Every structure is written in C-alpha cells, then in structure tokens.
Amino acid sequence: MTEAKVESAPEIIKGEVCPICGNKTLSLMEAEREVPYFGVCYLFSMDCEHCKYHKADVEAAEERTPVKYTYEINNEDDMRVRIVKSSFATVKFPHLGSIEPGESSNGYITNIEGLLNRIKNQIESIQENEDDAIIKKKCKSALKKIMKVMWGHEKQKLIIEDPSGNSAIISDKAVKGKL
C-alpha cells in the first residue's frame, strides 16, 4: 500500500491591510506540502501588491525540538540536496557568509545551490555599493570561492541551526544534532 501524497492547493486571501504601507493590497497564502524524509509542512506567505512587502515561512506539521544540521559539500551533485529553512534558522557557510534570523527573515524550501546563490547575491550587493577597495577585493575573493564550491572544485561546510526545529538538510550525509 502506498502512502497518499499530502499537497493542498494554496489558500489565498486577498485585500488584507499591509503592515508596512497600510493599504488593503496584502495577499495571504497558506499551503500544505509533503517534503520527503521531513514530513508535512505548512507554507505561509504575505505579499503586498503596493509596496512589494514579502514575508514567508515554513512550519512542520508536527512539533519539533531545536536542531543543528551539518553537511560537508564535496561536489557539484551536492548542490541539489534539499533544504527546509524556517525563518528562525541561522544558515552558516564558515569563512564565506551566513543568513541570520530576524524580523525580515523568511522561511523557504530550496537546495544548497539556492542557499549559496542567496549568499552570492548578498556579497554582490555589498560589492556594488561599496567604495572601499579592500572590501571590494574581499567580496571578489568570496564570490570566486562560492563559484568554486558550486562547481565542486572546493569543499565547504554548511551548518543550519534552528531553535524552532522546523529546518532540515534532507540527505543521508547530513549530520543531525542537538542545538
């Protein structure tokens, strides 16, 4: 007997008041998804058509304990490893960059390549807006390192720490521990 795949059509409510601009242009979305080896998740988002405010999160259907995942990125195939990241999670790539939780932090389902692209975009933004030549050079070096990791030419550790327990690295290679 096979298990039924859990996936609900997104429930969308439009015309809510945006907490940023105050206009009634906010859409709320909630959906349920089955993530293999993780379980049922609820996806939530808020999007304002007027001011482009966006907030999203992922929450496991079952209560979870605080968790820390570690993963050694060794090759290009590792870019496809699935990631569930809640808005409470801290994502660390030692000596490269991090994604910190906070009021504007989002939760999402992605893969390792997606996380590295987020770090890459942050560094490119810093590099573009920076006048200091030393910082621009450090950014250039970090961007080269990210590309080497993405192409499988350099190893990199990935650490996800989540006090809510709603994050995971979906791979047999991932080491799960207590936070």
Q: Whole-model pTM?
A: 0.81
CATH topology of domain 64-179: Jelly Rolls (2.60.120)
Phi, psi of 176 (to 5 degrees): -100, 135
Residue 103: what pLDDT? 82
Determine how β-strand 39-48 pairs with β-strand 54-60. Answer: antiparallel
- Per-residue pLDDT tens over the stretch 18-54: 999 999 999 999 999 888 778 888 899 999 999 999 9
Contact 172, 82 (CB under 8 A): no
| Stretch (H or E) spanning 138 | helix 133-150
Residue 3: what pLDDT? 46
Phi, psi of 82 (to 5 degrees): -75, 140
The residue ranges of every structural domain in the chain are 1-62, 64-179
Helix 112-129 with 133-150: angle, nearest 10 deg: 160
End-to-end CA distance of the chain: 37
If one compares 68 and 42, the residue with the highest pLDDT of the two is 68
Class at the top of the CATH hierarchy for domain 1-62: mainly beta
Residue 1: what pLDDT? 37
